[in-house]
Amino acid sequence: MQKPGGLSTGPGKEVGLLDNCGILPSNCLPCLASTVSSVEKRRSLSSSPPSARKKNALKLPFKWKEGHPNAALFSSKRLLQRPKAGSQVPFCPTEKRMFDCWSHIEPGTFKVRSENYFRDKKKDFAHNHAAYYPFGVDVFLSPRKIDHIARFVELPVVGHSGKLPSILVVNVQIPLYPPALFHSEIDGEGMNFVLYFKLSDSYLKELPPHFQENIRRIIDDGVEKVKGFPVDTNVPFRERLKILGRVANVEDLHMSAAERKLMQAYNEKPVLSRPQHEFYSGENYFEIDIDMHRFSYISRKGFDAFLDRLKFCILDVGLTIQGNKPEELPEQILCCVRLSGIDYMNYHQLSLNQEPSDTSAES
């Protein structure tokens, strides 16, 4: 496996293209449609002045009831001022059974659409190469979800790679306030799982040209024509971004019979990230935000019940670009990482009362 270098600092069935799930792959809930329209306007924090951003960061759309444990959690956590990317969650070797850390995971352990998928609908293990490899993980608490989080951390200085950004940032925004059936609350107290990846030194040799081109189309916000009735439509290429995930230690978790049945049914199912995603470009990096605040009520409710067991779970997470044509198969791994028993109670808030290091608009 080609590991990243040059840093100056530290089987299941697939969710269909139209199913549009609102769940994380590791969430043991049925696939349900999002409550947010796919034509929702994209937001760009960087389009507003810094003063407006600071004011917005201090507004709390949701207030904890007196005595709620998370109210005390936030008040007791210190504010981190532009920490180094990847400085919060420690690294641990995959072979060591340690918790509250991250590890490398082989790309070839994920199942993807095989070369003959459109003939036999079978999946196979991916080639053991990824475009990007992990170099760090952070967990941050915040009174509101943080978009374009790379602006508020110190990314390592790496050389320009030319065609593709040298650094990929994946920001998973997870709510910590309870879901409400009759209130469409999509912001409030939460945490950010921030995954940092560096472009493989040998991606040009290891990855097929069509996959390299598809990565570029994701970054450039390209569109593609999709055949339909009565007319063809132009669809954002980013809608092909797909999350791969699994709970790797299911047998270690204490679950009821019903929970275990759901876990077996939905563990390892890929899910398209649309429409709960946003994309940002900066100096030599590209950021993908996956917004769980906008997931459906039922999906939110299930994950809320699952949250206390997160610290006992070993989660393998990856991204790929869905192959919709024979010439785009087999699917390739964009990036992947293992998260072992992350306990968000051990982490701190990220201060937004600072000038962002990069003000690039949403791409």
Model confidence band, residue 295 (pLDDT cutoffs 50, 70, 90): confident
In contact, 329 and 314? CB cutoff 8 Å:
no
Q: Is 338 a residue whose pLDDT tops 90?
A: yes
Please tell me the predicted confidence (pLDDT) of residue 266.
83
Q: Apex CA 144: angle with CA 142 and CA 147, to 5°?
A: 95
Give the model confidence (pLDDT) of 201-249 as tens digits: 999 999 999 999 999 999 999 999 988 878 889 999 999 999 999 999 9
Residue 36 has pLDDT above 70, yes or no: no
- Per-chain mean pLDDT for the chain: 82
pLDDT value, residue 160:
85
> Which CA distances in Å does 187 have to 20, 142, 247?
21, 11, 27
- Biggest distance spanned by C-alpha atoms of the chain: 58
CB 185 within 8 A of CB 35: no
Radius of gyration from C-alpha coordinates of the chain: 20
Asked, as a colleague might, if the bond just before 175 is cis with ω within 30 of 0, I would say: no
More confident residue, 274 or 27: 274
CA 311, CA 171: separation in Å to the nearest integer? Answer: 19
Is the full-model pTM beyond 0.85? no
Segment 157-160 long-range contacts (CB within 8 Å, at least 24 positions apart): 157/8, 157/9, 158/6, 158/7, 158/8, 158/198, 158/284, 159/6, 160/284
pLDDT in tens, 79-126: 999 999 999 999 999 999 899 999 999 999 999 999 999 999 999 999
